Amino acid sequence: MSYKINVVIEKDESGYYAYAPELEGCQTQGDSLDEVLINIREAIELYLETLTVDEIKVALSKTILTTTLEVELA
């Protein structure tokens, strides 16, 4: 079965960090964008293997909204 999972990727001075907001604790890191994408896919697959179909439906039913805000500092 195939699922669409939201993934957030952050870059910092030591590489990349990725996590899946719907899947609490499902996170990883990598030295490159390619590496972190491979790692988060594996982490998600392993995470989902621990859940029942009903638990997956509940976890993936969360609404994730993203936006970009412009903030002005005085």
Query: What pTM was computed for the model?
Result: 0.86
Domain ranges of the chain: 8-59
Question: What mean pLDDT value characterizes the chain?
Answer: 95
| pLDDT for residue 36 is more than 90 | yes
Distance CA 55, CA 50 (A): 9
Is 8-59 a domain of CATH 3.90.1200.10? no
Distance CA 39, CA 53 (A): 23
pLDDT of residue 74: 85
